[in-house]
Structure 1
Amino acid sequence: MQIVVVGGGAVGLLLASLLQKDHTQMNILVHREAQASELNDKGLKQIDVLQQSYHTYVKASQDFKVFPTDAIWIIAVKYLHLESLQSLFDALPDSTPLLFIQNGVMHLQFAKSLHQKQIAFSSVEFGAEKLSDSSVVHRGIGKMKIALERGDGEPFKELFQLSSDNLPIEWVENAEQMLIRKALLNCFINPLTTILNVKNGSLITNEHSLILLEQLYKELLGAFPEQQDRLHFDDVLALCTKTATNTSSMLADRLNGRMMEVDTIVGGVLQIARKRGYEMPILETLYMLLMALQQGGVEK
């Protein structure tokens, strides 16, 4: 089996490391030549949840033409960068299977517009932190859920051979509902941790943020009642506990002066809720605060 991971960020690097097995050729498409050179020279270093180090030898390049088109292509870039990959998607043949891993739900329509005949979506629940261009830390074991959007799904089912204790892989029937559930989870953690500038666990150890979290849960589940059986408040608490020492992806972007995925994560959920006729004043307020922070930049 051959895999091409598109994206050299935390999620892309960790997946490349976790999915690499003896008979799996791992390729990584990156944006910068410096990262490609470092990965090719040093290999990919993963520090696992037990603080043990593992090295994976990969083929990295900026040029997508050097990679096999009959591989499974895992698209692990932010939604903001998908449009910049349009020439890649246009060039890949119809038969190339594409697996999209993005936050939020806004990438659904983009992926559906592509010509490839095998398309699936994934929701990952693990924690990842990029230390350098060639090293990543696994912060919290979580499932990799996969749901089919188009095709017979056979290429993606091959990935189940790579399921492990460190990366359990689960097949899910409804892609949209899977992504909405993940988007709601992101709405609980990312906005509040970013505005308060705290680690994930602080949301439930601070009595005031815990009350706000409960109120936000009631508001979101009011607009998405179909998620009530899939997403309980205990799930939110468990995620905060499991990732207590993690810095959320949105807060990490803010601290590093990067564009935050405010519209991707929060804006997409607000958009769906409005179409359903629901107003969400708490989430709307968080959205406006995040946009104000984004406009103001990061104070040094």
Structure 2
Amino acid sequence: MLIDIVGAGAVGLLYTSRFIRAGIHVRLWTRTEKQADILRTEGLVVTERDGSVTKIRPIEAYPFQAADHIIQDSGKQIEVLGLFVKQTHLTNPFIERLGALPRATDSLFVCFQNGIGHIERLESVIAGEQLVKAVTTEAATRVAANHILHAGSGMTWLGQDVRNCERLQNNIKVVNNLLNQAGFQANLSNNIDNMIYHKLLINAVINPITAILRVPNGELLLTERRIRLMREVYEEVTSIYREAGIPVADDAWDNVLLVCRSTAHNTSSMLADVLQDRSTEIDSITGELLRKADAYALNVPVQRALYQFIQALDPMNPLL
């Protein structure tokens, strides 16, 4: 099976590397021609947590802007596409181009985005039954165009809202098997939305605070004041969840602390964006939570303050 991967950031490159090492055909789509050229000519370098280094080549990489022509000329339509771009890259032109790509009638688009709201936008160009929601706790950092650090192993879950097509459900099982074949711990989930909201809760607590304080995840636990701030954010998010009928696990707070400890040296994706003067995913995380809070007339002042702080750090914010 051919797997198309759109997005050559840290996590996209991690999945690319594992698939190729497992003998699975990958066609990788990058944001720039420059990165595609580097990957094709120099290969992909992966440094594991134990310091071991693997170079993977050849890499079949192309700029996404040329995807429609390349796919058409190759005669190899999309069967399974892993979407690894950030929410900030899901612009209307990008979504329209994605939806126009030549694809098989039973193709699947597996969406690995943080936050919420993207599936509804993608449904404007891709049938809902072809969209698969994915949640992963794999951690990676990109240190160069073709070099990543695998910062931590985790789980990957796949799920779908629509379950009335046996053929598509069988395809999801095939994708899940390919993930396991590639060395990932992958499972199918009947409650993927609960997992998405669980991850959203963790991201909503950790990401904005690390981005403002400019510290790795573990340093949030160094002082009582930081832990109190985390707890205030946590309480506001869970109040929104309760009002919206979204389940909150009994050990949800303990899981937030556990993530901080297990990823102590990691730079959150939001902090990485701030340090690189890039737009962050604050709209799809805290912004979406604020929209839910407004719908229920909930007062969540800490959420609103975090949102405004991160927005103020955005060099592309037209209001600045």
Q: Structure 1 length as normaliser, TM-score?
A: 0.91
Matched with 2:169 is 153
- Among residues 271, 281, 285, which one is paired with 2:305 in the alignment? 285
- Among residues 89, 102, 105, which one is paired with 2:99 in the alignment? 89
Pairing 1:44–2:44 present: yes
Show CA shifts across 1:51-78 (max 9, x none).
2112233210122243432431011111
Pairing 1:61–2:57 present: no
Give the whole-Å Cα distance in 1 for the aligned partners of 2:293 and 2:194.
14
- Deviates most, 32-41 or 89-98: 89-98
Give the whole-Å Cα distance in 1 for the aligned partners of 2:38 and 2:290.
40
Matched with 1:72 is 80
Show CA shifts across 1:259-285 (max 9, x none).
112212210121123223422111111
Q: In structure 1, list runs of 5 or more residues that go unmatched.
A: none
Give the whole-Å Cα distance in 1 for the aligned partners of 2:316 and 2:43.
38
Could you tell me how far 1:21 is from its partner in structure 2?
Answer: 4.1
Give the whole-Å Cα distance in 2 for the aligned partners of 1:87 and 1:70.
13
Could you tell me how far 1:295 is from its partner in structure 2?
Answer: 5.2
Which structure 2 residues correspond to residues 135-150 of structure 1 after superposition, within 5 A?
135-150=147-162
**What letter is aligned with 1:111?**
L
Could you tell me how far 1:166 is from its partner in structure 2?
Answer: 5.7
Fraction of identical pairs, as percent: 27
- Among residues 191, 203, 212, which one is paired with 2:220 in the alignment? 203
Show CA shifts across 1:62-115 (max 9, x none).
222434324310111112222332123123334321111111102021122233
The aligned length equals 297
Give the whole-Å Cα distance in 1 for the aligned partners of 2:139 and 2:230.
20
Going from structure 1 to structure 2, the CA distance change for 1:19 and 1:206 (only over 3 Å counts) comes to: farther
* Local SS of the residue matching 2:203: helix
Give the whole-Å Cα distance in 2 for the aligned partners of 1:64 and 1:295.
29
**What letter is aligned with 1:272?**
K
Q: In structure 2, list runs of 5 or more residues that go unmatched.
A: none
RMSD of aligned Cα (Å):
2.1
Pairing 1:275–2:295 present: yes
Give the whole-Å Cα distance in 1 for the aligned partners of 2:240 and 2:8.
35
